[in-house]
Amino acid sequence: MAIHPIEYRYGTDEMKFVWSEANRLEKIMKAEAALARAEADIGMIPKEAADIIENSIGSVELERVKEIEDEIHHDMMAIVIAISEKCEDDADKWVHFGATSNDMLDTATGLQLKDAAKILEDKIHKLLDVLLIQADTHKNLVCAGRTHGQIGVPTTYGLRFAIWASEVARHIERLEQLKPRLIVGQMTGAVGTQAAFGKDGIEIQKRVMQYLEIGSVDVSNQIIQRDRHAEFVMWMANTVTTLDKIAVEIRTLQRSEIAEVEESFRKKQVGSSTMPHKRNPIKSEQICGLARIVRAMIEPELQNNTLWDERDLTNSSCERIVFPEACVLTDHIIKLAIGVIENLRFYPENIRRNLNLLKGLNMGEAVMIELAKRGVGRQEAHELVRSSAMEAHDTGAYFKDVLLANPDVANYLSEEDIINLVDPDRYIGTAVEQVEAVVTKLKRN
């Protein structure tokens, strides 16, 4: 019986598989096989035993592991026994030789995190691609900029997408930087001294990680220190917060009274069970809602680094939830964002309507700057434009007409000057050039 929405509603099959019981078991057994191979390399165990162990892991069944765990109440030892049962010629006595449980469990986690990071990396690159396409496509689409929820000077939709693309590119950079710290394993024994491996402990650990193609800790106690994992969870929280921000903006711009953009709406899609006309931004809302869950994982994972002495078990149960949930939901959110942004519908007529909604009042800065250039002091120009703007606001007149009727303004600006200054298409600065530079910099060949 499915209980958690991840089981039936959220997440991709590829990310769910990474954190499945079957894959977890496979990764642990790979670590066991790599340990046996490394120990055989240096002559600690017979090569024949390492071969048998490596060949035996493919026949270990998850159901048998669970049966053993039900009897002995130790998950890792259940796997060791299950592998041993499949070994012949006394090779069973060399399974897990010199290791402690978390040598295998944490190393397996490193392997899982490697796969999870690759899935997220591929998707976030796709997200960057669609953001750059929208930025380039709409670099000349002038729209109302807004601060404090109020219409300000013009901007362009291309610039908005370029800003988001730059932020996503930084997340890609952060992921690349943290992977060497995240994707590591260990073979350090009960408290980190490698005593059970003797003088060859460092070499054994090195060889195991080479076989597994992941990094190796420099030093640890019984577990890999959780600052590494906390950094990754914070990366996921940071990433989905960017998408939360984008989704909030889309939801705002889709409001009926603004109606500049809209999520794609399928032909037979239903918006409301009682209001048939509704076209709700449900995917953007889902992004915002699930981002809250991912962010909530930061505190538990930070606390997983504060364990007693060489370790306790409080991190284990917590991470069984944090790692899969955070990864599955982050992957799901990125996938949703790709679809929303890629299929976003624009309404140019509404964009233009909102740009002109204030009858030119939002062009006050352009007038002020030009007056200052022509000899009016900056502060004097500000007050001159402000008083004209308040008059236009209170009377409902067009800002252009109030300016034209003001003799103090007329001393410096002609009618043609004023008409040009209140034209929003003439006041987007270097927006287009900035977008083009971002697209050139971040676009993949």
What is the helix (H) or strand (E) element at residue 154, kind and residue range?
strand 150-156
For residues 38 and 34, what is the distance between their CA atoms, to the nearest angstrom? 6
Strand (E) positions, 200-316?
A: 215-216, 261-262
Residue 157: left if φ>0, alpha if ψ -120 to 50, beta else—which one? alpha
Catalytic residue among 148, 256, 273, 277: 148
Q: Are 217 and 307 a contacting pair, CB within 8 Å?
A: no
Tell me the backbone φ, ψ of residue 345, rounded to 5 degrees. Answer: -105, 135
Q: Where are the alpha helices (DSSP H) in 356-398?
A: 364-373, 378-395
For residues 373 and 158, what is the distance between their CA atoms, to the nearest angstrom? 29
Taking alpha carbons only, the member of 384, 383, 367, 371 closest to residue 419 is: 367
Token readout for 29 is: 């057994």
Strand (E) positions, 54-99?
A: none
Q: Where are the alpha helices (DSSP H) in 147-200?
A: 157-182
What is the helix (H) or strand (E) element at residue 150, kind and residue range?
strand 150-156
Catalytic residue among 59, 264, 272, 414: 272
For residues 424 and 427, what is the distance between their CA atoms, to the nearest angstrom? 5
- Is 272 tagged catalytic? yes
Which residue do the tokens 């592991």 mark? Answer: 65
Amino acid at 423: D
Q: Are 187 and 205 a contacting pair, CB within 8 Å?
A: yes
- Other residues' Cβ atoms within 10 Å of the Cβ of residue 109: 26
DSSP 151: E
Taking alpha carbons only, the member of 75, 130, 135 closest to residue 319 is: 75
**Angle ∠(197,201,204) on CA atoms, nearest 5:** 105
- Is 148 tagged catalytic? yes
- Cα of first residue to Cα of last residue in the chain, in angstroms, is 47
Taking alpha carbons only, the member of 371, 366, 356 closest to residue 414 is: 371
SS3 345: strand
Token readout for 250 is: 């889309």
Taking alpha carbons only, the member of 304, 101, 117 closest to residue 214 is: 117
Residues tagged active-site: 148, 272
